[in-house]
Amino acid sequence: MSGKDAILRVEHAGFRRGHRTVLHDVSLDIRMGEMTALLGPNGAGKTTLLRLLLGLARPDSGQVWLDGRPMAHWSRRDVARRIAYVPQGHVPLFPYSVRDIVGMGRLAETPFAPTLHERDRVAVAHALAELSITHLAARPYTELSGGERQAVLLARAVAQGGHILILDEPETGLDYGQKLRLYALLRRLAAQGRAIVATTHDPIQAAGIFDRAILLRHGRVMADGPAASLLAPPMLERLYARQDQAKIEESFW
Ligand SMILES: Nc1ncnc2c1ncn2[C@@H]1O[C@H](COP(=O)(O)OP(=O)(O)OP(=O)(O)O)[C@@H](O)[C@H]1O
């Protein structure tokens, strides 16, 4: 694997669902200490690409590498030690307490223990404090607001540790103050050397926050570069152009 700091690499990945090709020849590197935003219109393939990065789906062609080894060679537990995931809108069936949900982030470390070890409890307390939700610790997760739930899922990812944090539309449901705290937290985690990858539907905000942007359209990487320069009007108009308009532009160019 080239690129000294690339912890995750996608090499010429193709992915099909039935007759649909969802990802076409996607190649990219995810680097330590970098905040990478993944943008594109609805259905562009962002969540599918995250699933490949998480090892939850395998490409039909090409390869995904984690820390220099093919993803398929890693056990689920070893992937969970390295990659924390914050999914979109997750609602469990049972009214676990916030403390229990955040504690689930420690399962890769202590999978069969009936109770958490002291170091796990410290990690949970630290994560709750980091997200300013210590006061919610005993509340049932199912009774929280959307923004509070999102903060709990972030705390679970922080408690999990790992070098890579992958988030699917993490701003969903957050108020403005929570969004600012989320981005400050992600920046701190990146400054500690972690790799941050997040999908977002807010390119204007992402331009000021992320280091790098990868633009996906119709399952292909349309552009990959510094967020501040890429996420500007000409590129964004192309990225989010209606399909018929894009065809006109493609034939024009
Ligand atoms: N299980 C499936 N079966 C068939 N097609 C699927 C399946 N999952 C995803 N797709 C298709 O793959 C394409 C990419 O979906 P994906 O969820 O990755 O897009 P996205 O960029 O995350 O979209 P959004 O911004 O709306 O969340 C879409 O056209 C979707 O309809």
pLDDT of residue 131: 87
CATH code, domain with 221: 3.40.50.300
Nearest CA to ligand 1 atom 25: 42
Ligand 1 within 6 A of 26 CB? no
E-assigned strand segments in 68-154 = 69-70, 83-86
Look at the block and give the residue holding tokens 């540790």: 161
Ligand 1 within 6 A of 45 CB? yes
Query: What is the residue range of 29's domain?
Result: 6-252
Helix axis angle, 146-160 relative to 118-130, nearest 10°?
140
pLDDT digits (tens, 9 = 90+) for 149-160: 888 998 999 999
pLDDT of residue 1: 44
Is 88 part of a structural domain of the chain?
yes
In total, how many domains does the chain have? 1
pLDDT digits (tens, 9 = 90+) for 11-25: 999 999 998 999 999
Q: How far is the CA of 45 from the centre of ligand 1 (A)?
A: 6
Say if pTM beats, i.e. exceeds, 0.95: no
Distance separating alpha carbons of residues 120 and 106, to the nearest angstrom: 6
Is 1 part of a structural domain of the chain?
no
Is 28 part of a structural domain of the chain?
yes
Q: Write the ipTM.
A: 0.95
**Does 127 or 249 have the greater pLDDT score?**
127
Is 186 part of a structural domain of the chain?
yes
